[in-house]
Amino acid sequence: MSVLDREILALCRQVTADVILPRYQNLQAGEVEDKGGNDPVTIADRESEMALFEGLAKLAPGIGLVGEEAAHADEAVMGRLSDACWIVDPIDGTRNFAAGKPPFGILIARAEGGFAQSGWIFDCLTERFCAAHRGSGAFLDGEAFTARETGAERPVAAISLLFLDDAHRERVLAQLTPHYALADIPYCAAEQYPRLAQGANDVAIFECTLPWDHAAGALWLNEAGGKVARPDGAAYRVDDGRKGMIGAASPALWEQMAGLLGEMPGD
C-alpha cells in the first residue's frame, strides 16, 4: 500500500469514526433533508464533507476541492473539475444511510486534466478499501486485484433506471431482459463498483454519472481489468457533464451491453 493510500485510509477511518457512525441509525428530526428529486442529504453528509476537505487540504495544499454538498450549494464549484482537484462523496449511499441500513461509503478521487488519476472507495461498515492509480493497477485492502466475472450462464446485470423516463425505462428492460439476469441495485456506487469486480455482478448501466459518484469507481474498475466507458466508447471524464455509462467486469461484457443498447429501438 502506498504512502498516499495509507493516508487516505487513515482519513476515511477517522471521519467514519468521528462523524459518520455516531449518526448512523441515530439521526434526529430535522437532520435529513431532500435536495429535490428524492435525493436526501443528512447532517452527517455535510459534516463529513467538511472533515474530509480539511484532511485532504493538509495532504495537498492548494488543490481544488469538489464535493457533492459543496457543488449543490454553489454550482460554480463544478468549474474546478478541469484542473487538479480532489473529488469527494462524503457519504455515498445516503438513501441507505438515512434509512439506517447498508451499504454506504466514502468516495475520493484525485483528478487532473478532466480525468481521475487516483481513486479510493471505503466501506464505512466493513472497512473494505479499494485504491487505484492510473497506469498502476487496482488494489483491494492493499493487495493487487483483478476483476472477475460471475461465471453465470446468463450475465448478471444491475441496471439503474432511476433517472429514465417511463418510456425509456420500458425500452431498456425489453431490450435487455432476454439477455441478462437482472440484479437489484445497491443505490450506492461505493458498493456497485466492487460488485462488478468481485464476481457479484457482470455489468451495470448508469444514466446519471456525477463525478463524486463515479470518478473513483470507474478508475478502479478499469485498472482492475474491467471496462467503464460511455456507451459510444468514450472514456469517462469528470468534467464533461455527459450522461450514460456502462461498467463491466470485462471488456467483452462491456461490448455485449454496448451493442445491445446501440440496437435499442427509439434511441
129-174 pLDDT, tens digit per residue, is 999 999 999 999 999 999 999 999 999 999 876 666 677 777 878 8
- CA–CA gap between residue 229 and residue 248 (Å, rounded): 9
Sheet holding 203-206, edge to edge: 181-183, 156-159, 203-206, 245-248, 227-229
Report the DSSP beta bridge partners of residue 105. Answer: 92, 123
Predicted pLDDT of residue 267: 47
Domain boundaries, the chain: 3-145, 156-262
207-261 pLDDT, tens digit per residue, is 889 999 999 999 999 999 999 999 999 999 999 999 999 999 999 999 999 999 8
Amino acid residing at 136: S
C-alpha cell at 45: 453528509
Q: What is the CATH number of domain 156-262?
A: 3.40.190.80
180-210 pLDDT, tens digit per residue, is 999 989 999 999 999 999 999 999 999 889 9
Percentage of residues in the chain with pLDDT exceeding 70?
97
**Does the fold of domain 156-262 match that of domain 3-145?**
no
> Which CATH fold topology does 3-145 show?
Fructose-1,6-Bisphosphatase; Chain A, domain 1 (3.30.540)
